[in-house]
Amino acid sequence: MDFQHYFATRASRMKASEIRELLKLLDRPGVISFAGGIPDASYFPAKQFGAAFQDALNSETSGTALQYSISEGFRPLRQWLAAEMGKIGVPCTEDNIMITSGSQQALDYLGKMLLSPGDTALVNWPTYLGALGAFNAYEPRYDKLSINGNRSAADFASDAEAAGGRVKFAYLSADFSNPTGETVDRRGRENLIDTAEELDCVIIEDAAYQSLRYDGEVIPPILALEIERKGSIEECRTIYCGSFSKTLSPGLRIGWVCAAEPLISQMVLLKQAGDLHVSTVNQMAMAQVAEAYFDEHVDTLHRVYSERRDAMLAALVEMMPEGVEWTKPEGGMFVWMTLPAHVDTTEVFKIAIETENVAFVPGHSFFADGSGRNTMRLSFSCADQETIREGIRRLSKVIKTVL
């Protein structure tokens, strides 16, 4: 049965990504993979979650834990999150927070809420692939977000109008972004708020990696900087999307949106229509583990991941040939590498996996226009230091053959 001609126009924008196909090749013995962007499972706080689920399911609370619950999310978890947001410069209450099924769901709902077909979304070149996947369904046009002001708001607005819509939002990860590992400095964040004001659009701040800073100066979230200007979250146009996926567990699928109340109320309607609420028992367990253990756990992750990052950066300096450049992230999970313009990293991927059993993600998938064919993303989160060194040795050997 061919369903194609039944599909709505939006389905034509939902394409299986080429990298999924490539990543299937990783399922072979001995591969050193820098491809996954996931946390190291050996550090999941399984014992703490085991106890928390048992507590949630005891005879007094099991009726709540297994029951339907409110779309906003489990109140004690939202209260804990509101207090945490306060610590990073975002004073707010639980009414400014809605729990989502990972931050991925927040991106989908925000696309649904904000984009009419032909509207413009400003994104980084490159940007998080999953954000493009979420937004694509709502048929936007993309334009290149320029943090340091080399294009004026008037230029963005007139191009968006010519394309039959308007600029609805700027989406970015300001800390240790996926895929580049780079951070937007304070000035860049301030500029972005200025541009959003001029364009009268919202800012979607994807904070998936924000807790994973290993060194360097802590920069307040964009939402915090906007609150500094305006005095209250209720006056702010920034929508902050947080997640427990890179810290406590991605499998429990818990993220949150923090924003002015009218935005949260609209999100709640989408949540009701979409899936009612995030699993009640998962939220209860998350609230317990986060409250007792979040800081300690994040300290462990900082130690482990920063050692791995250092191992990768040191191996790159030592082994990569001239003409290859890479970012030096202060946190997160990724290093972004740029090869000379004539090199196609999809071809490098095939050679690397076939001849050296080493993998990465070719970079062009992260560009809204498919450019960036000479780039690649390397993740350091899942391999120990020795494996990282060996993987970079293999990769540099392959790269030397294509330069």
Given the rule CB under 6 A, which residues bind ligand PMP? 37, 102-104, 128, 130, 173, 178, 206, 208, 243, 245, 250, 255
Q: Enumerate the H helices of 88-232 as residue ranges.
A: 102-114, 129-136, 153-162, 186-199, 222-230
**173 or 283: whose CB is closer to ligand PMP?**
173
Residue 101, C-beta contacts closer than 8 angstroms, at least 6 positions apart: 253, 254, 255, 275, 278
Least Å distance between CB 59 and ligand PMP?
Answer: 32
Report how far residue 14's alpha carbon sits from residue 76's, in angstroms, rounded to the nearest whole number.
37
**111 or 130: whose CB is closer to ligand PMP?**
130
**128 or 360: whose CB is closer to ligand PMP?**
128
CA nearest neighbour of 252 among 106, 6, 109, 45: 45
Adjacent-strand bridge partners of 143: 122
Report how far residue 116's alpha carbon sits from residue 9's, in angstroms, rounded to the nearest whole number.
13
Q: How big is the chain by its Cα radius of gyration, in Å?
A: 21
Least Å distance between CB 255 and ligand PMP?
Answer: 4
**73 or 165: whose CB is closer to ligand PMP?**
73
Least Å distance between CB 104 and ligand PMP?
Answer: 3
Least Å distance between CB 302 and ligand PMP?
Answer: 18
Least Å distance between CB 190 and ligand PMP?
Answer: 22
Terminal CA-CA length for the chain: 46
Report how far residue 108's alpha carbon sits from residue 137's, in angstroms, rounded to the nearest whole number.
9
Least Å distance between CB 154 and ligand PMP?
Answer: 29
**114 or 398: whose CB is closer to ligand PMP?**
114
- Measure CA 104 to chain center: 8
Report how far residue 1's alpha carbon sits from residue 106's, in angstroms, rounded to the nearest whole number.
33
Least Å distance between CB 105 and ligand PMP?
Answer: 7
**Which residue's CB atom is positioned nearest to ligand PMP?**
102
Can you read off the two tokens belonging to residue 16?
A: 């299986």
**199 or 212: whose CB is closer to ligand PMP?**
212
Report how far residue 249's alpha carbon sits from residue 252's, in angstroms, rounded to the nearest whole number.
6
- Kind of pairing between the strands at 375-379 and 334-338: antiparallel
**167 or 208: whose CB is closer to ligand PMP?**
208
